[in-house]
Amino acid sequence: MPRAKDLASLRDQEVVALARAGREAAYREILRRYERPVFSLIYRMVRDRAAAEDLAQETFIKVLNALESYRPEYKFSSWIFKIANNAAIDHLRRREVDTLSLDGAPGARTAEEVDATSLQATDRRPTPLAALESRELGSAIERAIAKLRPEYRTCILLRHVEGRAYEEIAAALDLPLGTVKTYIHRARIELRESLAHLKDG
């Protein structure tokens, strides 16, 4: 049976097999391998460190508790990125609903009704966490990525930041290969448009 330091040289499928056999070290190895890419993907998707941490934690708990249901004929990375992406997209949808509710209840028609049902934000000063986020995600390219549609954002991040193959991205996002290529192409065009002014400057 391989020792903890030997686990690093094993393929994902082998590590998963050891984890299924009850080896705690194999669980830690999965966590060590995917902690950074999963957290980075989620963080760039939701652009909120605290939420990204919660979602990454949720992703890993889901993945590690469901290793029995993982089918080894598929790439493990596709599976974990699929769960991470779904968690991020769900969060963005929830946040969108919450943001709408800030503007008052959906049934509010008059200005008074909107005022009465809208939530009041009392303090808009940046927190230390927000300052950290703006430092981390503040570069021009990060801002341009943030402007992309979520599905384009996931595709471009997985392709160019994580260096995943098109087929792997298609498997992770449950999309046809052609759609993934189109999304990446369109994302590149949008990035080009967003960043064109830098080239001029």
Site residues (CB under 8 A) for other proteins?
20-22, 24, 27-28, 31-32, 35-37, 39-40, 43, 52-53, 56-57, 60-61, 64-65, 68, 136, 141-142, 156, 160-161, 163, 188, 191-192, 195-196, 199
116 vs 161, which CB is nearer to other proteins? Answer: 161
Residues 98-103: contacts with CB within 8 Å, 24+ apart?
Answer: none
157 vs 172, which CB is nearer to other proteins? Answer: 157
Closest distance between other proteins and the C-beta of residue 177, in Å? Answer: 20
Cα 21 to Cα 15: distance, rounded to the nearest angstrom: 10
Closest distance between other proteins and the C-beta of residue 173, in Å? Answer: 18
| Cβ neighbour number for residue 194 with a 10 Å cutoff | 17
| Buried b / exposed e along 16-43 (16+ C-beta atoms within 10 A) | bebbeeebebbbebbeebbeebbbbbbb
22 vs 106, which CB is nearer to other proteins? Answer: 22
Cα 67 to Cα 83: distance, rounded to the nearest angstrom: 13
142 vs 174, which CB is nearer to other proteins? Answer: 142
